[in-house]
């Protein structure tokens, strides 16, 4: 007979997989390594499920396990083969044409060139929507450190993407940029 707690845990774990995977792919820059990393995270989470404190942030807990696994084993192991073109093709294959497939591949290449600290902070704050405080906790460092990493990551992306003139935006790009600004 199954304990209902385990059922709940498993359901929550399943729900978090898409985000764990997106974070892992962003970190590893390699889909296969990322999948291995997510599997390991799932196994560790399951094995340590009694350690999760009820009422605390489950997603943040899972992300902590994932990034710790990445920095302790996966990165050091360097098991990934750097194949950025292949990665871009594999992970973005289903991107609709009208959304600027090439732009996204360029973006992914630029992202891959960030330092791992910066990339991690940028993704957690800028894409995953964790607060600076939550991100600091996940990464095990000070809030100020996270803020500065995010700022550096953004500045570096600007350099890497080479968006140096208003021409790069086009009329549509500008209005989108303004609109997304207004929403924030």
Partner 1 sequence: MKNKGQDATSASEGTTGGCSCPEGTSEKESALMPGSTFAVDEPHAILDELIQAQIGQQLSSFYKELVNQPIPQNFIDLLAKLDRLEDGT
From 81, 72, 69, select the one nearest 31 (Cα to Cα).
81
Spatial distance between the Cα atoms of 131 and 107, rounded to a whole number of angstroms: 23
Instruction: Confirm if 34 and 25 have CB atoms less than 8 A apart.
Output: yes
Site for partner 1 contains 21 (CB under 8 A): yes
- Is 96 in a helix, a strand, or coil? coil
Binding track, positions 62-101, relative to partner 1; x by CB under 8 A: -----------------------------xx-xx---x--
- Pick the binder of partner 1 from 12, 13, 112, 143 (CB under 8 A): 13
Q: Could you tell me how far CA 150 lies from the centroid of its own chain? A: 13
Spatial distance between the Cα atoms of 179 and 66, rounded to a whole number of angstroms: 34
CB 75 → partner 1: shortest distance, Å? Answer: 19
Which residue's structure tokens are 């993407």? 161
Q: Phi and psi at residue 29, in whole multiples of 5°? A: 70, 20
- Pick the binder of partner 1 from 67, 74, 87, 128 (CB under 8 A): 128
Interacting residues with partner 1 between 129 and 168 (CB under 8 A): 148, 151-152, 154-159, 161, 163-166
For partner 1, the binding residues (CB under 8 A) are: 2-3, 6, 10, 13-14, 17-19, 21-22, 25-26, 35, 38-39, 42-43, 46, 91-92, 94-95, 99, 103-104, 107-108, 111, 115, 122-123, 126-128, 148, 151-152, 154-159, 161, 163-166, 169, 173-174, 176-178, 180-181
């Amino acid at each position: 007979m199954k304990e209902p707690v385990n059922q709940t845990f498993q359901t929550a774990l399943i729900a978090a997989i898409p985000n764990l995977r997106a974070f892992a792919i962003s970190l590893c820059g390699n889909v296969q390594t990322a999948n291995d990393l997510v599997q390991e995270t799932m196994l560790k989470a399951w094995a340590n499920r009694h350690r999760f404190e009820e009422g605390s942030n489950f997603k943040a807990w899972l992300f902590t396990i994932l990034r710790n696994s990445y920095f302790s084993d996966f990165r050091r192991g360097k098991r990934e083969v750097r194949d950025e073109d292949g990665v871009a093709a594999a992970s973005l294959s289903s991107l609709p044409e009208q959304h600027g497939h090439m732009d996204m591949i360029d973006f992914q290449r630029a992202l891959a060139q960030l330092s791992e600290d910066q990339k991690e902070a940028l993704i957690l704050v800028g894409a995953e929507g964790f607060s600076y405080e939550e991100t600091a906790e996940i990464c095990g460092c000070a809030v100020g450190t996270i803020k500065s990493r995010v700022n550096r990551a953004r500045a570096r992306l600007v350099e890497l993407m080479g968006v140096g003139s208003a021409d790069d935006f086009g009329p549509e790009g500008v209005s989108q940029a303004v609109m997304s600004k207004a929403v924030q």
